[in-house]
Amino acid sequence: MGCYHCGLEIPPDALIVDEERKFCCSGCLGAWRVIRGMGLEDYYQRRDGGILGTRPGETDRQALEPFDDPDYQSRLVSEVEGGREVCLLLDGIHCAACVWLNEQMLRRLPGVSEVWINFATHRARVRWNPEQLRLSEIIGTVRGIGYRAEPYDPALGEQNRARRDRELLSRMGVAGFGAANVMFIAIALYAGYFQGMDAEAKNFFHWVSLVLATPVILYSGGVFVRGAWNGLRLGHLNMDLPIALGAWVTYGYSVVVTVTGSGEVYFDSVTMFLFVLLTGRFLESIARGKAAGSMERLLNLEPRHALVLRDGEPVSVPVREVRVGERVLVKPGERVPVDGLIESGMTSVDESMLTGESLPVTRGPGEIMIGGTLNLEGGVVLIVERVGAETALARILRLVETAQAERPPIQGVADRVAARFVGMVLVLAAATLGFWLWRDPSRALENSVAVLIITCPCALGLGAPAAMLVAMGTAARMGILLKSGETIERLERVTQVVMDKTGVLTLGTPRVERLVPVSGVDERTLLTLAATVERHSEHPVGRAIFREFQSRGWGQVGDAQAARNVPGLGMEAWVDGRLTRVGRSGFVLEGGDPKQDASRPPEDRDHAATWSACGQDGVLLGWIGLGDTLKPKAQEVVAALRAMGLPVTVLSGDRRAVVDQVARLTGVERAESDLLPEDKERIIADLQRGGAVTAMVGDGVNDAPALARADVALVVANATDLAVASADVILLNRDLETVTRAFALARRTLGTIRQNYGFSLFYNLLAIPLAMSGLVSPIVAAISMPLSSLVVVGNALRLRHPPEPTTSHTLTVKEKDA
């Protein structure tokens, strides 16, 4: 049995009140005490039974008050600029009109600043000012219009979905049983229609059909009636109205025929199309669950408990109770519960679900481990740096959910059409009824009901949300975070790609390429002395020199005394009683023979390397040449972008020789060097004035002005660098291939949305005239309507497969570290 309040797994150190009431943490225990203190002992039974919130009244208003408890909100409510934000799970949403109604009601509340509702996931994100409005009032407003709402808890999300599916399955079962038996009777009635049947037997079959159809219309069809009534009493028409109207008009007409004993009944049509509609909703719910699968997998990455070291002993503690600065033990095979700095231990980590990188990465003391990643080999002790909503995983989820909830501009027209669709359907059904009453009264009811049922804005309303939902999940799996739905549209319109060089096309990590000792000095002596001085350096060049020494396996470096960094010049230290320096030639040769040749070595023919001198007591010992490596697949990525019709420009602050060499090796068409940040911004502005829609790919540090100016800003970052204000797209995977995948995914997503809209338009333009002309029966209409939604969702699910990668290739280039 799980926690009495939230349902999570009970840890070994659970807080136990009695045999039934066990709590995973003090927050849940506190929430239970608040509820008990209000005298609402039946709250949990009513909640678990699905009763809470279905009958507005004084008791329900009291039962909502625990949502305002600080302990409860600390788990599920985020503090944001200008107030608070909560994610609500909405039950009872069946069409785009339902989404519109909930949004309008919430936006009317004083203090609510923003509302996003995702039709595909049934989740609402609400931002409000707590000084003007309470969370309980927000939830009460939604429940007051007939929809069930509660704060979305990832741990309970699957449970709630399963409950909704069970309810749908139950209604579908009753409808299926009634429809099957009524259809058997209908076969007899049809046979009697052609071969003759005694009036008494026919009337008996009518009454039996009435008895079988009544539970179907009351129970199975009740969900449509409730939805229609909730909309009507608020002055809004939703898609449940034509369904309920069609079902009850047909049922009522059949009851009149049964009572009067004259005419034909349509109980078979009523039960069958209710069964088909509920089956469609059930399949649609399963499809939506699959569409949200990527998001749910990210949610499931976060462990529920952590082993916190207290008095030297590991204690299992719920993750939400872990505090910054505590020490956490992560065993092999476990997921990392928080963001933390490794204090001790070495291991390899699987970061694929966050970055898309398939190969494990090695992590050791002083390095960051990201919450949600999988520890593969060794046990490590972390010092907690970020917990809860501040972890990288939580911020990633927040970005993805916000992007899923926000509507892209292309969806605006569809939403406006869907909001007015029901009124048009009712007018067309009335026109059909009037026409057929004049033409052939015996077919008037059947044809008007077919119009009511077959027309549906659901496919139109799902066209963009379903595609966006799947696309965001696919992007997250590839290590691509899209900050909004509008970003996908702008990515698809890009005509010019601009890239920074260092850290984007190149790895941005210097490495030793050449050792050029002077006469009488060998390479080992030169590199050993330089590594001894640079051993404790924090400069990228110093670290590269020390790494090179370690990689050659030449033993241990010497003993350096009084090592110090001289900013802008280099490092110096006393080695074996001699002043040894590494850095600029003037600094290294200071105090030595002024006639020494301090020019660069002849090996530097193209001036495309960074050279550090090394010397002792002012005497030059040799030169160390450093370069950078192009990222794997850099040439292929540039070629792939050009094949997509996207020319590439490189903007860099590095020297002309280095930038030109990168351009040659990658096939870039235009390369600009020796640029300041404001120069990059100016060049992008010039491109835009020329009509180009620009995308800037940078590292988010020196490229801020250019990123802000570009139409789309893509930032190459690791998972701890998410707070990049100028970024529209964050590439967690430093593999350059994700750039092409981002553009390819954007094009596929917009293409899928346009296909969905085209199909929805074609379906309604074809179905409505057919139904009005009497060529479609109510049963066929009931099959067609949910199928249209399933086609749209199925088309969107194709986006789950990421774009094909480019082929792998590695190139090398020497450069000055920009």
Q: Is the pLDDT of residue 743 over 90?
A: yes
Distance CA 389, CA 164 (A): 28
Mean pLDDT of the chain: 77
Under the banding of pLDDT at 50, 70 and 90, the label for residue 435 is very high
Distance CA 760, CA 457 (A): 8
Under the banding of pLDDT at 50, 70 and 90, the label for residue 321 is confident
Under the banding of pLDDT at 50, 70 and 90, the label for residue 23 is low
What pLDDT, in 10s, does the model give residues 576-587? Answer: 999 999 988 888
What pLDDT, in 10s, does the model give residues 629-676? Answer: 788 888 899 999 999 999 999 988 776 777 888 888 888 989 988 777
Average pLDDT of the segment spanning 168-180: 89
Q: Which residue has the higher pLDDT, 343 or 265?
A: 343
Under the banding of pLDDT at 50, 70 and 90, the label for residue 413 is low
Distance CA 94, CA 238 (A): 9
Distance CA 345, CA 367 (A): 11
C-alpha torsion sign, points 767, 769, 772, 776: negative
Distance CA 175, CA 779 (A): 14
Cα angle at 265 between 263 and 271, to 5 degrees? Answer: 175
Q: What is the pLDDT of residue 692?
A: 92
Range of 63-77, 296-310, 584-598, 764-778 with top mean pLDDT? 764-778
Q: Is the pLDDT of residue 211 over 90?
A: yes
Q: What is the pLDDT of residue 641?
A: 93
Distance CA 723, CA 700 (A): 10
Residues labelled as active-site residues: 500
Q: Is the pLDDT of residue 98 over 80?
A: no
Answer yes or no: are the C-beta atoms of 307 and 381 closer than 8 Å: no
* Bridge partners, residue 352, by sequence: none
- The closest alpha carbon to 326, from 304, 343, 349, belongs to 343
Instruction: Answer left, alpha or beta for residue 442, where phi above 0 means left and psi between -120 and 50 means alpha.
Output: alpha
Q: What is the pLDDT of residue 280?
A: 66
Distance CA 324, CA 707 (A): 33
Beta strands at 712-716 and 694-698: parallel, antiparallel or unpaired? parallel
- The closest alpha carbon to 548, from 574, 528, 518, 520, belongs to 528
Distance CA 289, CA 287 (A): 5
Q: What is the pLDDT of residue 574?
A: 92
Distance CA 281, CA 91 (A): 13
Q: What is the pLDDT of residue 645?
A: 92
Average pLDDT of the segment spanning 43-48: 52
Q: Is the pLDDT of residue 152 over 80?
A: no
pLDDT-wise least confident of 51-60, 64-73, 477-486, 753-762: 51-60
What SS3 class is residue 631?
coil
Q: What is the pLDDT of residue 598?
A: 60
Under the banding of pLDDT at 50, 70 and 90, the label for residue 813 is very low
Q: Is the pLDDT of residue 217 over 60?
A: yes
pLDDT-wise least confident of 78-87, 335-344, 762-771: 78-87
Average pLDDT of the segment spanning 431-448: 87
Under the banding of pLDDT at 50, 70 and 90, the label for residue 783 is low
Q: What is the pLDDT of residue 573?
A: 93
Q: Which residues lie closer than 8 Å to 429 by C-beta, 6 or more apart?
A: 242, 245, 246, 448, 449, 451, 452
| Residue 125 structure tokens | 């994100």
Average pLDDT of the segment spanning 372-400: 77
What's the Cα-to-Cα distance from 786 to each of 283, 750, 789, rounded to whole Å? Answer: 9, 23, 5
- Please list, residue by residue across 504-531, b when 16 or more beta carbons sit within 10 angstroms of its beta carbon and e when fewer do: bbbbbebbbbbbbbbeebeeeebbbbbb
Under the banding of pLDDT at 50, 70 and 90, the label for residue 37 is low
Q: Is the pLDDT of residue 809 over 50?
A: no
Q: Is the pLDDT of residue 142 over 60?
A: yes
Q: Is the pLDDT of residue 157 over 90?
A: no
Q: Is the pLDDT of residue 104 over 70?
A: yes
Determine what percent of the chain is predicted with pLDDT higher than 90.
14
Distance CA 593, CA 590 (A): 8
Under the banding of pLDDT at 50, 70 and 90, the label for residue 721 is very low
| Residue 667 structure tokens | 């096939």
What's the Cα-to-Cα distance from 303 to each of 154, 297, 349, 373, 388, rounded to whole Å? Answer: 12, 12, 15, 10, 11
What SS3 class is residue 735?
coil
Residue 143, burial from CB neighbour count under 10 angstroms (0-12, 13-18, 19+): buried
Q: Which residues lie closer than 8 Å to 583 by C-beta, 6 or more apart?
A: 566, 569, 570, 571, 612, 613
Q: Is the pLDDT of residue 421 over 60?
A: yes
Q: What is the pLDDT of residue 78?
A: 77
Distance CA 403, CA 723 (A): 16
pTM score over 0.75: no
Under the banding of pLDDT at 50, 70 and 90, the label for residue 266 is confident
Answer yes or no: are the C-beta atoms of 611 and 601 closer than 8 Å: yes
pLDDT-wise least confident of 290-304, 387-401, 633-647: 290-304
Q: Could you count the other beta carbons within 10 Å of the beta carbon of residue 36?
A: 14
Under the banding of pLDDT at 50, 70 and 90, the label for residue 730 is confident
| Residue 719 structure tokens | 């998972």
Q: What is the pLDDT of residue 502?
A: 75
Under the banding of pLDDT at 50, 70 and 90, the label for residue 818 is very low
| Residue 421 structure tokens | 């669709």
Q: What is the pLDDT of residue 402?
A: 60
- Please list, residue by residue across 620-640, b when 16 or more beta carbons sit within 10 angstroms of its beta carbon and e when fewer do: bbbbbbbbbbbbbbbbbbbbb
Under the banding of pLDDT at 50, 70 and 90, the label for residue 51 is very low
What's the Cα-to-Cα distance from 366 to each of 310, 359, 362, 619, rounded to whole Å? Answer: 21, 21, 12, 37
What pLDDT, in 10s, does the model give residues 450-501? Answer: 787 777 666 666 677 778 778 877 887 788 877 766 788 889 999 999 998 8
Q: What is the pLDDT of residue 454?
A: 77
* Bridge partners, residue 530, by sequence: none
Answer yes or no: are the C-beta atoms of 583 and 612 closer than 8 Å: yes
Q: What is the pLDDT of residue 102?
A: 84
Q: What is the pLDDT of residue 815?
A: 37
DSSP-assigned states of every residue in 586-610? HHHTTTS-TTS--SPPTT-SS--SE
Q: What is the pLDDT of residue 658?
A: 76
Average pLDDT of the segment spanning 86-95: 77
Answer yes or no: are the C-beta atoms of 580 and 786 closer than 8 Å: no
